[in-house]
Structure formats: C-alpha cells, structure tokens
Structure 1
Amino acid sequence: MTAPDHPDASAVSAWWGTAITYIEPGVIEHRGVPVADLIGRTGFAEMIWFMVTGERCEPPRARLLEAALVAATDHGPQAPSIAVARMAATCGVGLNNAMASAVNTLGDVHGGAGEQCLALYDALLARADAGDDLAAAAREVVAEVRSQGRYVPGFGHRFHPRDPRRDPLLALVEQARDDGTVPGRHLAAALAIEDALAEGRARPVPMNIDGATAVIYGELGCPPPLARGLFVLSRSVGILAHAWEESQSGRRNKGPMPPSILPARLSPDA
C-alpha cells in the first residue's frame, strides 16, 4: 500500500501526541494553560516544574527549587564543561554550538553525582522504611560503596574543605521541613550519611553541592534521573555566561594550556 501524499493531520498529531504543549493557529497552551496566563505570572523555576511534571509548584516549594538551580549554575573554568564552552567559543562556532559541546561533557563522572547521590538517599530511605535504624543503615550503605572501591557521591570536594553552598541550601530545607513544606526525610538521610562518613576521621567529609541539591530534589519528589536533568539545566546558565564572555575576548583557537607553558616547538607563536 502506497503512503498518501498528504498524511491525515490527526495521524500526525497522534504520532507526536503530548500532554505538555498544544498549539493551533493563534493558540499556545502549556499543560492546558494558555501561555498568556503564564507570562508575567509564573516564575521560571515554577515554569520548569510545571512543564516537566505537570504539577503546580507552590511558592515555598518553588523557592527550594530555585535555590538549588541558582547554587549549581557555575564552578568556574576548572570545571571541564565550562572549559569546553570557553574553548569552543574561540573556534568560530556560535553560542549554541559552544553550549552543546559543554553540555555533552556532563555525564556520570562530571555532572552525574547528584543523580547518583539521590539514588543513594532513596536506597537508604527504603531500608529505613523496611525497619532498619537510619544511622545503622547509613553506615552499611557507606561501607558497601567503599567496599566497591567507589567514592560516596555527593560528599567531599576536591577544592573546598567545606562546600560554601552546603549550609545555605540545607538551612532552607530545614526551614521548609519545619514549616511543613517538605517531609525532611531526604535531609535526614543525607545527614545520616554525613555522620557515617565522619566516624573515625579527624576531618569530616561534608556534603557538597551535589549532595545538598540532591536533598532538595528528593524532598520535592524528583526521581534521580530528573535530578541530573535539572542540574544540566542549571549549569547551562554558567556555560552560557562563560561562552559569551570568551566570545567577546577576540581570542582564537584557545587551547587547554597558555602558550607560555608549552614547549617552544608546540607554541603557536614559535
């Protein structure tokens, strides 16, 4: 049977059927709400939640989401994704190319710790729900991760003795827990792991940005993979900022090291 030259419009609509957005001439609706009713009335963090989940994010919960998004926007050019954005911006490509190049470096090693940490919190809470003592279960979880030769995702930092984003984020979660905005279970799980990591050590191993934002995403009900997606969305802001700044520098073909430290035979000035 030969396919028709003009496919039925309803078949096309069904093929790409979605509950997210509906359009027709003169009409744009997101999750059933006219876009005109969202513009100027819905914050960006609320809009992210609404589009992704289909649920309204009440202001107290939206403040937590926004705090997590703000906290993870950037960590400077020593972060591989940011360095890639800056190098790409000097190669004659547009901002979209520089941003895509950078985002594509965000994987399990660089950018995936938040998802991994939230999965760890969920596993710990599942043990607690099954009747295990939370502190004892945290020790077991930490021991299991270490026995596999892995680090505990979301804790410790290669640069900061204590990540400066930890305390303000957790303070917001504590306040939201006390206000009844969130249950506080993921916060309890995170602190139990932090305590377990500190046992027998002269120096503690505090939560980093991935561990703290995983607490917020867990409290808001995000599944672990969505936590990574939200991190990528957040870090894209820093990627854009660095790509734009570098694009204004006039530098061409910027490499990972300054020419001054390269051997003379490799220096572009040689």
Structure 2
Amino acid sequence: MALFEADLPPMTTSIGHATADGIWVQGYDLAQELMGEVDFGGVFFLLVSGRLPTLGESRLFNAVLVALADHGLTPSALAARLTFTGAPEAIQGAVAAGVLGAGSEFLGVFENAGRMLRRAGPIPDDDDQALQRLAVGIVDSYRSRNQRLPGFGHPFHKGGDPRVVRLLGLAREHDLCGPHVRLMLRVESLATSSSGKPLPLNAGGMCGALLCDLGIDTAALRGVAVVSRAAGIVGHIAEEARAPIGRALWYMAERETHYQPRRGPHAPGAEQEDDRG
C-alpha cells in the first residue's frame, strides 16, 4: 500500500481554498476582491475559465446566462414542480429533477453545438471560401447520418429566435464575434429541415458558439446551461410553493390519459383473436 501511495501524482486544484483567515477562488481573495466587486456571472466565468472576463465578455456571458434562465412550463420546469409536489421538504430534489433532463433536446444544445463546431478543426479567419467549405462539410456530415443539426430550429420561434438577434448584436458591439460564431452563421445559411424549409439558429446554438469563442472548455458548456436554467427552476419552485399547480397537472394527466391495455382479454382486438382461434 505504501508503494502504491508513493506512486500517486500530487493532487492540485486552483478553484478554491480556505484558510483560517481567508477564502481564495482562482487566486482571488473572495471577500476582498470578488464580493461586491464582481457579479455572479463574472465569478462563474472565473471558475470555469480561470480568469476574470473583460467588460464586454462579462456583458455577453451574463446575457448567455439570462437567455436560458426560463422558457415557461418546459419539461424541466414541470419535472421540478411535480417533484416538489411530492417532496416539498427537499427543494434540492426538485431542482435536481429539473436539471437532470439536460440532454440533446433541452439544455444540452450548448455542448452539442460546441462539439460540432470544434470537431470541424481549425477555422480560417479571412478565407470566406474555406469557411464555406467547412460549413458545407458539417451540414453534409449530419445529413449523411440522417441526424439533426444541433442548435437549429425551435418549436415556437419558427421565424427566428429573438434571443439570437440580441446575442449576436451584443457580440458584434463588443467585437466578440469569433470564428465559431462565423462558422455557425455559415451553417445556418445551409441548414434546412427534411422538407427543405430553412432552419433558423436557436439560442442554444448561438450560445454554444459564443461560449466556444470565449474559450469555455467543451466539457463545461452544458454546465453553463444547467446553471442558467437552475435559476429559472428555483423561480418555478418558489411560485409552486405559494401558488401550486403540481396537483392540477397530475389530475389533468389522469383525466386526459386513457388506459388502453396492450395484452390480455381487454386489449383491443382480443375478441377477434379469440374468434379466429
């Protein structure tokens, strides 16, 4: 055992450390240099990137967090409210229930879009034709596998996601439209549905591209979305506590869902099968 322990590499962290008279986060004194001086978005950026953002980066990163904070009674909000209905004494369980569904359909688009862009390889800066070829390659690759492009289309914003317009405007205002955003916009010009209709870029896709340009590690992209939506979920739970709808949702599901057995003597067509037998 001693030999095994001697072979272990030293364990280090730069995230946080506490002493008898201070708390340190990424090399900054939490109480003196961050609290009251840097907003939560800036500290979150510091935690995932290792540096404080510039003024423009801070404004854009905070806008990304705001963009996904809430979108109404989405599956994540419903999961949180219904879990709170069953266990109101454990709000952490309801928050967890709301974010556990972060995947390809909801919240995971940040990561999926970022991986798509970063898998494309080096993105040319001043070569429009090379950038177009890269975009064509991405679209053709997904079409050949019959897979949906991550970050495109929206169940409600058929004509375009208003958050994309705002985020793109902020990025241009602060000169933060980097190569990943430029490539994503080229992909958007080629993205179409199976019926041939154009697929507009959604907020998840734009946020994924922006975060890539801000240097956020791919592994952390979905985490940014989860932190953003967690704020909205806590808001839903706070409302559920004072104006509950969880039981109404449960009763509505019971009322509107019809039991239909697939097997047994009461299954549809069972009598006909018996007659033929």
TM bucket normalised to smaller: 0.7 to 0.9
**CA RMSD, aligned part only?**
2.9
Q: Percent identity?
A: 28
Whether 1:196 and 2:201 are equivalent positions in the alignment is no
Which among 55, 61, 65 is matched to residue 61 of structure 2? 65
2:151 maps to a residue whose letter is: G
| C-alpha distance 159-71 of structure 1, shift in aligned 2 (>3 A) | same
Q: 1:223: which partner in 2?
A: 217
Whether 1:240 and 2:234 are equivalent positions in the alignment is yes
Q: 2:208: which partner in 1?
A: 214
Q: 2:172: which partner in 1?
A: 174
The whole-number CA distance in structure 1 between the counterparts of 2:123 and 2:22 is 49
Q: Work out which of the two has the higher radius of gyration on C-alpha atoms and give 1 or 2.
A: 2
Q: 1:149: which partner in 2?
A: 146
Alpha carbons 1:91, 1:254 under 8 Å: kept: no
| C-alpha distance 110-233 of structure 1, shift in aligned 2 (>3 A) | same
Q: 1:26: which partner in 2?
A: 21
Please report how far the alpha carbon of residue 121 of structure 1 lies from its aligned counterpart in structure 2 after TM superposition: 1.7
2:72 maps to a residue whose letter is: G
| C-alpha distance 152-30 of structure 1, shift in aligned 2 (>3 A) | same
Q: 1:117: which partner in 2?
A: 113
Aligned structure 1 segments of 4 or more residues deviating by more than 6 angstroms: 199-202
Please report how far the alpha carbon of residue 145 of structure 1 lies from its aligned counterpart in structure 2 after TM superposition: 0.4
- Unaligned 5+ segments in structure 1 are 3-13, 266-270
Alpha carbons 1:21, 1:31 under 8 Å: kept: yes
2:112 maps to a residue whose letter is: Q
The whole-number CA distance in structure 2 between the counterparts of 1:252 and 1:87 is 5
1:151 maps to a residue whose letter is: R
Which among 173, 181, 189 is matched to residue 187 of structure 1? 181
1:95 maps to a residue whose letter is: I
Aligned pairs, number: 249
Please report how far the alpha carbon of residue 262 of structure 1 lies from its aligned counterpart in structure 2 after TM superposition: 3.2
Mean Cα displacement is larger for which, 118-127 or 63-72? Answer: 118-127
Q: 1:134: which partner in 2?
A: 131
The whole-number CA distance in structure 1 between the counterparts of 2:146 and 2:258 is 41
The whole-number CA distance in structure 2 between the counterparts of 1:195 and 1:171 is 18
Please report how far the alpha carbon of residue 201 of structure 1 lies from its aligned counterpart in structure 2 after TM superposition: 7.9
Please report how far the alpha carbon of residue 27 of structure 1 lies from its aligned counterpart in structure 2 after TM superposition: 1.8
- Unaligned 5+ segments in structure 2 are 3-8, 260-277
Please report how far the alpha carbon of residue 168 of structure 1 lies from its aligned counterpart in structure 2 after TM superposition: 0.5
Q: Which has the higher contact order (CA 8 A, sep 6+)?
A: 1
